[in-house]
Chains A and B, each alone.
Chain A
Amino acid sequence: MDFSVRKNEHGSGRKHFSAAVIGSGPAGLTAAIYLGRSKVDTVVFEKVIPGGYVVNVEKIENYPGFVEGISGEKLGELYARHAERFGAEIRSEEVTKLTLNEVPFRIETSHGSYTSDSLILATGTSNKKLGVPGEEEFTHKGISFCATCDAPFFEGEDVVVVGAGNSGVQESLYISRFAKHITIMEFLDHSTAEPILIDRLNENNKIELLTSHSVVSFKGEKFLSNVDVKDIKSGEVKNLKVKGAFIYAGEIPNNDLVKDTIKLDEKGFIVTDDSLRTSIKGIFAAGDVRNTPLRQVATAIGDGAIAGHEVYKFLEESK
């Protein structure tokens, strides 16, 4: 068992900041590091724990510098300590409302109100739901969106994983430590995961990949007990007996705070220019929540650096 301690926040009690970062994933915390080094007083709001979605990833193997990989939890903690070293204040508060029609921008959180002269939106993405019958009914009753949280409940059971992208395959490999058999369901006729992950999938005799299949419905009484799946090519529907289902069928941007105020693309991702400026002056976006061709830790770090630098320039020019 692990007994390493996540460092506590120490709030200053301040209510106004020059820069506020919403979200403490790799993009948000990198921005905070750059802002801190530029001597910009910065607050970072995080509703779960520092690291953002990355803390759910057991091992990140494609982030340069960590030859043997590093756990997402550890990486998140390192980012937080790094940002705090340069003066950023990390607050475990959920941002509930933004008022963006006046400067300073107003930020309402689960614990109070703040103002800031600039904002970086780094709120990331969430797992997309399938929208099929039974999904709502059996969510948390067999259906899960967090393998690291819930996989131990399916020790010795059959489960289905929906989605054979990087997340679906990586999480299936993790779930295989507990489950007896895993069927990965993929809508496309191939997995879109990195070839190295597909190799591992092929070597794992607990995991079966079913391509060109989609979920028709989740079924059961009190808890999930079976899933109807459809062969897209033949149209045949078959039934799989499973106790659990983990859904990794794509991402949706966490844009609730700004969906009515800031320009989004057709999929709801925040539109930015090369300097990561959004449609409102003084507000920038970084990481997975913006319209970017690749959503990885490495690309989020780059975004964070640009956003931090651009906010500093913006604040200097505004003086």
Chain B
Amino acid sequence: MELISEEDKKYLREEFDKALKREVEILYFGEQGKGSQYSIQTKELLEELVALNDNLSLTLKNCDDADEMKSEGLSFCPSIKVKSERSGFVNFYGIPAGHEFISLVEAINDMGSNNLSLPDDVVEGLKGIDENVDIKVFITHSCPYCPGAVRNAHQFSLVNEKIKGSMVDANYFGKLSMKHGVSSVPHIIVNDKTGFVGNMPPNLFLDKVKEALK
């Protein structure tokens, strides 16, 4: 049984046709050829997705390939990185299911276009950041507030290449969630240290990120 309904496929085809101006590669690090239902389902989802537009391609990599993971700047597996000629670190640790499926669609559209839905003052603020910033947004699939926070992190990385934006499936990466004390989502961790909780408009989100960097 297919994971994406026919109705949604029709909608996504139209969306991708309108949005995608360049090729987008989805790089999936998973447990290829074996693995859990989680890994199998992630791969199936991505295969269905890339079949919807000629500009989309899927590259499968194995979790065992530590060097490749490192060269992509990835820390955990499974991971889905959305790549194109556009600079930006747009990544998902774990499967973007439930409310997060839209985050994956938006990430693809962003990387395949020049979309940027951030206010000018936020863009200027992001350009002024001169240190590496790793933003991990811990989510649950049933959280309606989480995609907004994921979108902020991803869009921030499009503006400044020093910024990495990743969604983290808090339930799948349970130990990591515990390490960071995640018990409410969206929980945002900056540079694997401090963080904050909640979705908020981009300007306030940027303020919180800057505060966490201090």
Q: List chain A positions with a Cβ less than 8 A from chain B.
A: 1-8, 47-49, 51, 55-56, 73, 92-94, 96, 110-112, 139-142, 144, 146, 148-150, 152-154, 222-223, 244
A interface, by DSSP: helix, strand, loop or mixed?
A: loop
Tell me the bound Cα distance from A146 to B197 in angstroms: 13
Whether B11 lies near A47 (C-beta < 8 A) is no
Measured between C-beta atoms, what is the minimum distance from B147 to chain A in Å?
7
Whether B187 lies near A140 (C-beta < 8 A) is yes
Measured between C-beta atoms, what is the minimum distance from B32 to chain A in Å?
19
Whether B140 lies near A152 (C-beta < 8 A) is yes
Q: Mark B8-39, 1 if CB is under 8 A from A, else 0.
A: 10011001000000000000000000000000
Tell me the bound Cα distance from A273 to B117 in angstroms: 38
B45 within 8 A of A: yes
Whether A5 lies near B11 (C-beta < 8 A) is yes
Of residues A3, A55, A140, which shows the largest number of chain B Cβ atoms within 10 Å of its Cβ?
A: A3
Measured between C-beta atoms, what is the minimum distance from A204 to chain B in Å?
20
Q: Mark B168-197, 1 if CB is under 8 A from A, else 0.
A: 001100000100011111010000000001
B170 touches which one: A94, A153, A222 (CB < 8 A)?
A153
Q: From residue 132 to 174 of chain B, which have CB atoms closer than 8 A to chain A?
A: 140-148, 170-171
Whether B97 lies near A1 (C-beta < 8 A) is yes
Tell me the bound Cα distance from A93 to B119 in angstroms: 11
Whether A48 lies near B199 (C-beta < 8 A) is yes
Whether A149 lies near B145 (C-beta < 8 A) is yes
Q: Mark B106-122, 1 if CB is under 8 A from A, else 0.
A: 10010000000111000
B interface, by DSSP: helix, strand, loop or mixed?
A: loop
Report chain B residues within 8 Å CB of A93: 201
Tell me the bound Cα distance from A148 to B99 in angstroms: 11
Tell me the bound Cα distance from A149 to B145 in angstroms: 8
Tell me the bound Cα distance from A5 to B117 in angstroms: 20
B90 within 8 A of A: no
Whether A112 lies near B119 (C-beta < 8 A) is yes
Tell me the bound Cα distance from A148 to B143 in angstroms: 6
Known: A144-B184, A153-B177. 16 other contacts (CB 8 A): A2-B97, A2-B101, A3-B4, A5-B12, A47-B201, A48-B144, A48-B145, A94-B200, A94-B201, A110-B202, A111-B117, A111-B201, A140-B183, A149-B144, A150-B183, A223-B181
Whether B41 lies near A1 (C-beta < 8 A) is yes
Report chain A residues within 8 Å CB of B197: 140
For B186, give the chain A residue with the smallest CB separation: A149
Tell me the bound Cα distance from A92 to B149 in angstroms: 12
B183 touches which one: A2, A48, A55, A244 (CB < 8 A)?
A244
For A11, give the chain B residue with the smallest CB separation: B117
B98 within 8 A of A: yes
For A72, give the chain B residue with the smallest CB separation: B144
